[in-house]
Amino acid sequence: MYKVVLIDDSKDFINSAVKILEEENFEVVGFANSGQEGIRIVREKKPDLVFVDIVMPDMDGFATIKEIKKMENPPKTIILTLYDNEEYRKASNEVGADGFISKSELFSHIDEIIEKIGGKEYMKTILLVDDSKTIRKMLMTVLSKIPKVQFEEAESGLFALEKLALKKIDLVILDLNMPDMHGIEVLKFMRKHDLYKDIPVIILTTRGDEEMKETAIKEGANLYVVKPFNPQELLDNVKRFLFKE
């Protein structure tokens, strides 16, 4: 997990940015509303990455970055601003900023930001939902061949909803017949909720009848796989959904 400090005089923007970054597995270890305060926090927290606004009351973002770059083993710095123009981009390069991003484009540039940090792994998280521990273990064995992947487990539908609320999940592999909540109900919940509606869901079940398959696809499943499954086919499909291959 990458440690981040935010330096911006807008408290509303900081609150929004913290939410976006934490959803993407960044750890916001500090924030400041001025350049001087930000420099102090950077020295104290030693983050991997610092986002810096340009227009601030005591010293602007360019002066702030110049001071940060004087530190021993300085973090990467990215200008994050409302004012996207050539003059500011040129000034950003001159002070040694590692990136320049419009505030409105923060979420869409997450992969670019990670690359600028220096090649640290950005882990994708797969949620395995099945009441069989054996099946979950088998899935982890098969899917561990994918680089940059980690797993969360849930033995029931209700536990799956809890994991979704607490973790940033990139893909769900979902059983249907579980003791407390049917997989279709979990799927319906996800597709109705803005935070989860775009997460790919692969149904993995013993139910091989066409009626259930049609129901699952209608409710928003991305793929329907019947147990016993072909490990290589499942592996290829998971990679396709995770990395848009």
pLDDT tens for each residue of 174-231: 999 998 899 999 999 999 998 899 999 999 999 999 999 999 999 999 999 999 999 9
Instruction: Give the domain 2-117 fold.
Output: Rossmann fold (3.40.50)
CATH 3.40.50.2300 residue ranges in the chain?
Answer: 2-117, 124-243
- pLDDT band at residue 245 under the 50/70/90 scheme: low
**What is the pLDDT, as a whole number, of residue 81?**
86
pLDDT tens for each residue of 184-194: 999 999 999 98
Quick one: how far is CA 79 from the chain centroid?
21
CATH architecture of the domain formed by 124-243: 3-Layer(aba) Sandwich (3.40)
Instruction: Tell me whether strands 49-52 and 2-7 are parallel, antiparallel or unpaired.
Output: parallel
Q: Is the dihedral of CA 109, 113, 115, 119 positive or negative?
A: negative
d(CA 40, CA 220): 49
Segment 112-126 shows an average pLDDT of: 65
d(CA 176, CA 131): 10
- The pTM for the full model equals 0.56
